Amino acid sequence: MTEALCWLNGVLMPAAQARLPVLDHGLLYGDGVFEGIRFYNGRAFRLSRHLERLRRSAAAIRLTLPGDAGSFDAAVHDTIAAYGRPEGYLRLIVTRGAGKLGLDPGSCGEPNLIIIADELALVSEAVRNEGARVIVAATRRLGADGLDPRIKSLNYLNHILARLEAVNAGADEAILLNAAGHVTEGTADNVFLVRHGKLLTPPASDGALEGVTREVILELAQELGIERVETTLGPYDLHTADECFLTGTGAELIPVREVDGRPLAVCPGPVFSVLLAAFRRQVNRETAAPQLVARRQ
């Protein structure tokens, strides 16, 4: 098993040796933003989209990112190269930096940039093959009037509470509703369902993160001629879906076999299987070395 690696403010080191000041406001108050990024064939997948979302998240909380897009690209590439494995997961974090006790971010100095490279498996291979058991959590997703869901901040406490509900219920994942009782997302993934061959997913306006993998799946569905609709959904729609699956950078694609103890009609379903195959092809197209692509042509 490869040791987790950390790029901390320009210095690469084993993750276990990385240190931050205890007065960092990211630790004290969750004041910071992050991105999860997958890499395949030694290359980050959709890196520009992740960095674009990071910049938007930082702008929304008035956090000045250290460096520019080129320096972020270089840091990511250096971390992947130093990690030494062709596939893995990156957690890119920017904290407000160390400051005085108290909520005022004006006391903070330079932000801290952290990139962690490691393995990540949200579910076992058995669950990935046979399907996940999910529940609808009692914990609600924070509304846009409190914290806009498009901001990937370091505050994930309500998602953690929902995941604890799943653990206590013996389930693999939990789906969060918004204050109106509409489906938003899982604790670490977006939600899709299939009804009569049509692909449905909650809109960002209901509280779903604008996931990068979600975006890829919507693109692939359009290319494959699968009708896709972003629409408000409720627990009833999950319970009666023909298929259901989860997507995310960490999750990739995970089929769902049961929601709140109700088995779905099929798992993995035909639409999921087609999209999974298309997703894998897309990943290889975008991350394969140019010379390998040329030889295949």
For 89-99, write each residue's pLDDT tens digit: 999 999 999 99
Write the pLDDT tens digit of every residue in 273-292: 999 999 999 999 999 975 43
Instruction: Choose the final residue of a domain: 118, 147, 169.
Output: 118
Write the pLDDT tens digit of every residue in 168-203: 999 999 999 999 999 999 999 999 999 999 999 999
Tell me 24's DSSP state. B
Write the pLDDT tens digit of every residue in 1-52: 679 999 999 999 999 999 999 999 999 999 999 999 999 999 999 999 999 9
The answer to which of 43-52, 69-78, 108-117, 239-248 has the lowest mean pLDDT is 69-78
Whether the predicted pLDDT of 108 surpasses 50: yes
Strand 132-140 and strand 173-177: the pairing is parallel
pLDDT at site 296: 35
Q: Are 172 and 132 in contact (CB under 8 A)?
A: yes
Considering the domain architecture, whether residues 235 and 97 belong to the same structural domain is answered as no
Burial 22-50 (b: 16+ CB within 10 A, else e): eebbbbbbebbbbbbbbbbebbbbbbeeb
Considering the domain architecture, whether residues 275 and 152 belong to the same structural domain is answered as yes
- Does residue 290 lie in a domain region? no
pLDDT at site 27: 96
Phi, psi for 160 (deg, rounded to 5):
-65, -40
Q: Mean pLDDT across the stretch 291-297?
A: 37
Considering the domain architecture, whether residues 109 and 135 belong to the same structural domain is answered as no
- Does residue 289 lie in a domain region? no
Number of domains in the chain: 2
- Does residue 293 lie in a domain region? no
Q: pLDDT-derived band of residue 122, with 50, 70 and 90 as boundaries?
A: confident
Averaged pLDDT of the chain? 94
- Does residue 288 lie in a domain region? no
Tell me 204's DSSP state. G
Considering the domain architecture, whether residues 42 and 169 belong to the same structural domain is answered as no
Residue 109 CA to chain centroid, in angstroms? 29
pLDDT at site 1: 64
Phi, psi for 270 (deg, rounded to 5):
-65, -40
Find the CATH number of the domain harbouring 82. Answer: 3.30.470.10
Whether the predicted pLDDT of 221 surpasses 80: yes
Provide the 3-class DSSP secondary structure of residue 215. Answer: helix
Burial 167-176 (b: 16+ CB within 10 A, else e): eeeebbbbbb
What residue numbers bound the domain in which 78 lies? 5-118
Instruction: Choose the final residue of a domain: 118, 142, 170.
Output: 118
* This prediction's pTM: 0.92
- Does residue 9 lie in a domain region? yes
Give the C-alpha separation, 241 to 199, whole Å: 10
The answer to which of 54-63, 117-126, 210-219 has the lowest mean pLDDT is 117-126
pLDDT at site 292: 38
Q: What percent of the chain has pLDDT over 90?
A: 89
pLDDT at site 123: 84
Q: Mean pLDDT across the stretch 249-258?
A: 96
Please give the radius of gyration of the chain, using alpha carbons only, rounded to the nearest integer: 20
Considering the domain architecture, whether residues 53 and 80 belong to the same structural domain is answered as yes
Considering the domain architecture, whether residues 277 and 147 belong to the same structural domain is answered as yes
Q: pLDDT-derived band of residue 151, with 50, 70 and 90 as boundaries?
A: very high
Give the C-alpha separation, 249 to 132, whole Å: 17
- Does residue 296 lie in a domain region? no
Provide the 3-class DSSP secondary structure of residue 37. Answer: strand
pLDDT at site 295: 34
Those residues whose C-beta lies under 8 Å from the C-beta of residue 13, and which sit 6 or more positions away, are 5, 6
Closest CA to 250 of 213, 218, 216, 279: 213
pLDDT at site 242: 97
- Does residue 57 lie in a domain region? yes
DSSP string, 74-114: HHHHHHHHHH--SSEEEEEEEE--B--SSS-GGG--SPEEE
Considering the domain architecture, whether residues 160 and 205 belong to the same structural domain is answered as yes
Residue 123 CA to chain centroid, in angstroms? 14
Considering the domain architecture, whether residues 271 and 136 belong to the same structural domain is answered as yes
Strand 5-8 and strand 173-177: the pairing is unpaired
Considering the domain architecture, whether residues 225 and 137 belong to the same structural domain is answered as yes
Q: Mean pLDDT across the stretch 231-249?
A: 97
